[in-house]
Amino acid sequence: MKRILVLGAGLSATSLIDYLLKHSEIEDWQLRIGNRHTEKTREKIAGHPRGEAIKFDVQNQAQIDEEVKGCDIAVSFLPARFHALIAEACVKHGKHMVTASYVSKEMQALDKSAKDKGIVMLNELGVDPGIDHMSAMRVIDDIRDQGGKMLAFSSSTGGLIAPEYDNNPWHYKFTWNPRNVVLAGQATSCYLENNKYKYIPYHQLFTRTAKTEVLDFGKFEIYPNRDSLSYRKTYGLEDIPSIFRGTFRRPGYCKAWNVFVQLGLTDDTVIYEGDENTSYREFINSFLPYDPERSVEDKICSMLHLDPDGEIMEKFEWLGIFEDTPINMKNASPAEILQSILEEKLALGENDKDMIVMQHKFVYEQDGVKKGRKSSFAYIGKDQTQTAMAITVGIPAAIAVRLLAIGEIKLTGVHTPVIPELYNPILDELEKYDIQFIEEDMEV
Amino acid sequence: MKRILVLGAGLSATSLIDYLLKHSEIEDWQLRIGNRHTEKTREKIAGHPRGEAIKFDVQNQAQIDEEVKGCDIAVSFLPARFHALIAEACVKHGKHMVTASYVSKEMQALDKSAKDKGIVMLNELGVDPGIDHMSAMRVIDDIRDQGGKMLAFSSSTGGLIAPEYDNNPWHYKFTWNPRNVVLAGQATSCYLENNKYKYIPYHQLFTRTAKTEVLDFGKFEIYPNRDSLSYRKTYGLEDIPSIFRGTFRRPGYCKAWNVFVQLGLTDDTVIYEGDENTSYREFINSFLPYDPERSVEDKICSMLHLDPDGEIMEKFEWLGIFEDTPINMKNASPAEILQSILEEKLALGENDKDMIVMQHKFVYEQDGVKKGRKSSFAYIGKDQTQTAMAITVGIPAAIAVRLLAIGEIKLTGVHTPVIPELYNPILDELEKYDIQFIEEDMEV
């Protein structure tokens, strides 16, 4: 019998726990699921005899030690900053580990110790990072195996509202952590285009968009992600002339979001001086020049050259940002206040379903001919618990746990799924869950 | 005999040391001047029998202790981050202390201990902070003493090139730390206008300028400083409806500088991927959209709506940023590369003189009548050592040291010169150095 320890039982762990419980009888696993509160964990276990909910406190080093010592594989779905704590215990006690998060410096530093202990620490096994790596690397390796030379790689992902439930002028709802959406892109973005480095400061980000279509899911716009350049090393594309990573939104979103950025409403570095009674309108006015003769709407339009009757102003009016509604917040940053205003209108409705969209584009040279391929994927959530986000984050990690438990992964040290040994079996099994990329040739 | 310890003997300490040496015979002082290297200190002392240059290492706690213990007053003109180290030693050994820097949290935390020991720690005794506090508070207190109620306060300062040496299209030269000039304003600015809070994100800062004239020094433009709101507490203006602090530049500067900000050239958060051979032109191109059909100039003009033959483009051409000159830097941030490009052209020439300009505007109500005053000051440096910056930073601190040494300051604890007991004698003596504000009535 294998003992699997799952730490963290939040929304993103739902599908992971489901998968592991479903396989637990036939594979002879026992699951211990640790979370701050056991109530929600018990709901997720739903009386399954192979699952046990335990109260887990990540501040309790003795408990970490005890739990890790007693398991064969530890899965951390805790907030990413806690992975290193668990990883150290795994190295100490010689236990395998799985996470869906980016490899941190602390995690990478354990590579040698993990190898010495003969254990593996598998990371970046969610959707982004995770499915993006696996689906891209399968194509890149295939192109190289056939003697192709990569000329350009671009990859974009988005978490959006499913088309059937897309019923607001932003064509957007919060399908994951709203704070991350409000703060998205607050770092310089850089990418490479025909051997030219391109840097985009945050305040230009939402003006430098591209357009694309994905399968029959319609049109999307793409804004650049932070650091596309680092993917050259991750994917072994050190000499590639063009590399780009982006985020999908529906057309029109970026131009409107850019107004928030231009005004300074996404600023998380200062505390706004207003109080609970400050109105939305007054809050917005704080970011506009003083002029008692002109309306807030008038000032925004003239400052940012907007059409007063255009689509962008329509989006703001729909949000109600010009209303006298009180912000009901104190000692909050502009970003926190904006988030709270947006959550009123952009929250996922009770019956809404979310969607994950991903698309890679590959340009390469083979036998002197320039060729193109694209690989696309869209996945719609099942309900508000089994969201597309929860499924696409949890299932790849769960599959990796199964492969580890049945001894099909022979690696040691710190890894991400950019190698065939990991991406092939995981991608193959993901197809059973309709997580499948459609490959097409692309004109270049 | 009083023993005065001066730590730090950089450019800004020049006038301080001069002043203290000049008064040392008659007041019976002995000066010990500690710096990393003694050579420059010896030049400053120039054989004066009352001055002694010592090699001082701020990392050497034993030396700090020994030197502070042996003095009566310690003056720190070290980089601001080291003041707390000296301050702790002053408290330990019961010695007075003087700095020209903002009161840090660490410094403020010593207030009670300093009081218990019966010592005073005088801070913010330079030009900004320093002369700004003193000159503004004298007028504010005068208005209040006459029964006036403050309605609006604004204050701006600038370190610029003196008019006679203003011979470039930017009307600007680096008269102090160029790095600080390149990074200036990289935080949200906030101020209060008629009881409306106004927030300006960095990327809007140089578009939100005001204009003014100062004495017969001509026209200036003003961009907002970071946090004007904190001055309400500093100046006892808690209920004032309007408060603003700004920085002076010559007209036209801000619009052109804004182009650097918009492009992302002042970004100090990433390392630029180019190498020594990357040209200025290529560097600028990295911040513009990819388009091999269009020139760098063309792309800037269309992205930022600039007139190709206008003043802004003229300023850039004068700087040479479109040239093929190599940047000669590696592993540097865009801000560092920009600084290096600017230093080629905007450095202070051998015979140039700098200038400090300051202006306060006060609006108040007295006997039911709304009134206005302004108080203005401009000071031109004497040469490249006795710069306006060095004089206006060093002399107020030096005067404070003299007042302390002759027993005319009876305060204990941590202080800044916002109280009559400090600003009156210091401002009075500053007039001997032609550091004098011109007060005028102002129409409101």
Note whether A295 contacts B: Cβ–Cβ < 8 A. no
Give yes or no for residue B282 having a pLDDT over 90: yes
pLDDT 10s digits, B36-59: 999 999 999 999 999 999 999 999
pLDDT 10s digits, B135-144: 999 999 999 9
Mutant choice from A270, A272, A286 vs B, greatest count of B C-beta within 10 A: A270
What average pLDDT does the structure give for chain B? 97
Give yes or no for residue B384 having a pLDDT over 90: no
B188 to A264: CB separation less than 8 angstroms, yes or no:
yes
Give yes or no for residue B69 having a pLDDT over 90: yes
CATH class of B131-256+351-387: alpha beta
Q: Which residues pair with B74 in a beta bridge?
A: B5, B97
pLDDT 10s digits, A404-436: 999 999 999 999 999 999 999 999 999 999 999
B204 to A264: CB separation less than 8 angstroms, yes or no:
yes
B200 close to B387: Cβ distance less than 8 angstroms: no
A203 to B201: CB separation less than 8 angstroms, yes or no:
yes
Q: Given this model, what pLDDT does residue A12 score? A: 87
B57 close to B63: Cβ distance less than 8 angstroms: yes
Q: What pTM was estimated for this model as a whole?
A: 0.93
Note whether B368 contacts A: Cβ–Cβ < 8 A. no
In Å, how far is A286's CA from the nearest CA of chain B? 5
> Residue A348 has what DSSP assignment?
P
**Residues A140, A143: Cα–Cα separation, whole Å:** 5
Q: Which residues pair with A133 in a beta bridge?
A: none
Closest residue to A198, CB basis, from B262, B269, B290: B290
Closest residue to A188, CB basis, from B190, B262, B270: B270
Give yes or no for residue A176 having a pLDDT over 90: no
B286 to A208: CB separation less than 8 angstroms, yes or no:
no
Q: Given this model, what pLDDT does residue A347 score? A: 95
Phi-psi sector, B120: left (phi>0), alpha (psi -120 to 50), beta: beta
Banded model confidence at residue A238, pLDDT cuts 50, 70, 90 = very high
Note whether A187 contacts B: Cβ–Cβ < 8 A. yes
A77 close to A9: Cβ distance less than 8 angstroms: yes
**Residues A98, A113: Cα–Cα separation, whole Å:** 16
Banded model confidence at residue B422, pLDDT cuts 50, 70, 90 = very high
Dihedral sign from CA coordinates of A65, A71, A74, A78: negative
What residues contact B307, with CB distance under 8 A and at least 6 apart? B301, B313
**Residues B312, B170: Cα–Cα separation, whole Å:** 9
Of B267, B256, B124, the C-alpha closest to B182 is B267
> What is each CA distance from B306 to A176, A202, B302, B311, in whole angstroms?
40, 21, 7, 9
State the complex-level ipTM: 0.91
Taking the CA atoms of residue B158, residue B161, residue B166 and residue B170 in that order, the dihedral angle to the nearest 10 degrees is: -50
A-chain residue closest to B283, CA distance: A197
What average pLDDT does the structure give for chain A? 97
Q: Given this model, what pLDDT does residue A439 score? A: 96
Phi-psi sector, B368: left (phi>0), alpha (psi -120 to 50), beta: left
**Residues B198, B384: Cα–Cα separation, whole Å:** 39
Note whether A221 contacts B: Cβ–Cβ < 8 A. no
Count CB atoms within 10 A of the CB of residue B229: 18
Helix, strand or coil for residue B220? strand
Note whether B46 contacts A: Cβ–Cβ < 8 A. no
Q: Given this model, what pLDDT does residue B176 score? A: 86
**Residues B115, A192: Cα–Cα separation, whole Å:** 60
- Domains of chain A by residue range: 2-123, 131-256+351-387, 258-346
A371 close to A363: Cβ distance less than 8 angstroms: yes
**Residues B45, A56: Cα–Cα separation, whole Å:** 67
B343 close to B174: Cβ distance less than 8 angstroms: yes
B378 close to B214: Cβ distance less than 8 angstroms: yes
Banded model confidence at residue A130, pLDDT cuts 50, 70, 90 = very high
In Å, how far is B311's CA from the nearest CA of chain A? 22
Q: Given this model, what pLDDT does residue B12 score? A: 87
> What is each CA distance from B199 to B192, B398, B414, in whole angstroms?
9, 37, 31
Q: Given this model, what pLDDT does residue B429 score? A: 98
Give DSSP secondary structure letters for A100-164: SSPPPHHHHTTHHHHHHHT-EEE---BBTTBHHHHHHHHHHHHHHHTT-EEEEEEEEEEEEE-GG
Of B162, B212, B206, the C-alpha closest to B359 is B212
B363 close to B310: Cβ distance less than 8 angstroms: no
**Residues B160, B173: Cα–Cα separation, whole Å:** 7
Q: Given this model, what pLDDT does residue A386 score? A: 92
Banded model confidence at residue A384, pLDDT cuts 50, 70, 90 = confident
Count CB atoms within 10 A of the CB of residue A376: 19
Count CB atoms within 10 A of the CB of residue B72: 15
Instruction: A433-437: list long-range contacts, CB under 8 Å, 24+ apart.
Output: A433/A391, A433/A395, A434/A379, A435/A131, A435/A377, A435/A379, A435/A391, A435/A392, A435/A395, A436/A377, A437/A135, A437/A358, A437/A360, A437/A375, A437/A376, A437/A377
Closest residue to A287, CB basis, from B194, B199, B267: B199
In Å, how far is B209's CA from the nearest CA of chain A? 10
Phi, psi angles (nearest 5°) of residue B308: -55, -25
Two tokens, residue A167: 């019923």
> What is each CA distance from A247 to A160, A220, A224, A433, B311, in whole angstroms?
10, 10, 6, 24, 38
**Residues A323, A326: Cα–Cα separation, whole Å:** 9
Note whether B272 contacts A: Cβ–Cβ < 8 A. yes
A264 to B194: CB separation less than 8 angstroms, yes or no:
no
B197 to A262: CB separation less than 8 angstroms, yes or no:
no
pLDDT 10s digits, B153-204: 999 999 999 999 999 999 999 998 999 999 999 999 999 999 999 999 999 9
pLDDT 10s digits, B213-269: 999 999 999 999 999 999 999 999 999 999 999 999 999 999 999 999 999 999 999
Question: Which residue type sits at B122?
Answer: L
Q: Given this model, what pLDDT does residue B85 score? A: 96
Q: Calculate mean pLDDT across residues A222-244.
A: 97
A130 close to A435: Cβ distance less than 8 angstroms: no
Banded model confidence at residue A87, pLDDT cuts 50, 70, 90 = very high
* Alpha-helix residue ranges (DSSP H) falling in B131-290: 131-145, 178-183, 202-205, 231-234, 253-263, 280-285
Q: Given this model, what pLDDT does residue B146 score? A: 96
B264 to A201: CB separation less than 8 angstroms, yes or no:
yes
A281 close to A323: Cβ distance less than 8 angstroms: yes
Q: Given this model, what pLDDT does residue A11 score? A: 86
Closest residue to B194, CB basis, from A208, A270, A290: A290
Query: Angle at which helices A388-405 and A420-430 pack, to 10 degrees?
Result: 120
Q: Which fold has domain B2-123?
A: Rossmann fold (3.40.50)
Q: Calculate mean pLDDT across residues A50-79.
A: 97
A290 to B198: CB separation less than 8 angstroms, yes or no:
yes
Of B344, B323, B224, the C-alpha closest to B278 is B323
Q: Which residue has the tokens 């970071």?
A: B226
Q: Calculate mean pLDDT across residues A62-80.
A: 97
Q: Calculate mean pLDDT across residues A288-309.
A: 97
Q: Given this model, what pLDDT does residue A420 score? A: 98
> What is each CA distance from A58 to A54, A77, A84, A263, in whole angstroms?
12, 12, 11, 39
Note whether A273 contacts B: Cβ–Cβ < 8 A. yes
Two tokens, residue A42: 């018990």
B-chain residue closest to A334, CA distance: B199
In Å, how far is B337's CA from the nearest CA of chain A? 14
Q: How many residues does chain A have?
A: 444
Report how many Cβ contacts below 8 Å link chain A to chain B: 87
Count CB atoms within 10 A of the CB of residue B346: 18
Banded model confidence at residue A359, pLDDT cuts 50, 70, 90 = very high
A397 close to A98: Cβ distance less than 8 angstroms: yes
**Residues A119, A72: Cα–Cα separation, whole Å:** 10
Q: Which residue has the tokens 């100062």?
A: B214
In Å, how far is A264's CA from the nearest CA of chain B? 5
Q: Calculate mean pLDDT across residues A330-346.
A: 97
In Å, how far is B71's CA from the nearest CA of chain A? 42
Q: How far is CA B357 from the centre of its chain?
A: 11
Q: Given this model, what pLDDT does residue B290 score? A: 96
Give yes or no for residue A246 having a pLDDT over 90: yes
